[in-house]
Amino acid sequence: MKKETLLEIILGTIGGLIFAIGMCMGLIPEWDMSKTGIIVAVIGFIILLCIIPVYRKSHPRKPHGPINWGIVLAWIIGIVGALVMGYGMSKVMVGEATKTDMLIGIITGIVGLIICVLDYPIYSYIKGEKSNKN
């Protein structure tokens, strides 16, 4: 793994966590931390923006070729996984969650997390299948 790739992963993880915590602080009324949450979310977003120069340095522009359907599928799977996980989280966090809501939310969140985790192996498998055909 290249040093730049590791830096992208670290910045993405830290920035994403800080952004998510800031959004929670700003959007959960019981916490009463709207202004602080906005500031924390902006800091997380700025950290996420720091990935752009690192990515551009390690991935020079290439001429456009045919559509890479493996990447398109990886994006779709990632978005679906994030939505499923978000639904589970909202089922647990919003309002007075009953035991049934908690159980459904936790199970749905775990399923969404598994979908997100399996996204890269699925992409690698598709990429490997294409390289084997050539």
**C-alpha torsion 5→11→14→17, nearest 10:** -90
Look at residue 42 and give its three-state secondary structure: helix
32 and 50 within one domain: yes
Residue 130: what pLDDT?
A: 66
Contact in structure between 15 and 48 (CB atoms under 8 Å)? yes
Contact in structure between 51 and 13 (CB atoms under 8 Å)? no
Per-residue pLDDT of 28-44, as tens digits, reads 888 889 999 999 999 99
42 and 93 within one domain: no
The mean pLDDT value for 17-37 works out to 91
Between 83 and 67, name the one with better pLDDT.
83
- pTM recorded for the entire structure: 0.54
Domain range for 11 is 1-61
Residue 1: what pLDDT?
A: 64
In a domain, 24, yes or no: yes
When divided into structural domains, the chain yields a total of: 2
The mean pLDDT value for 8-21 works out to 93
21 and 39 within one domain: yes
5 and 52 within one domain: yes
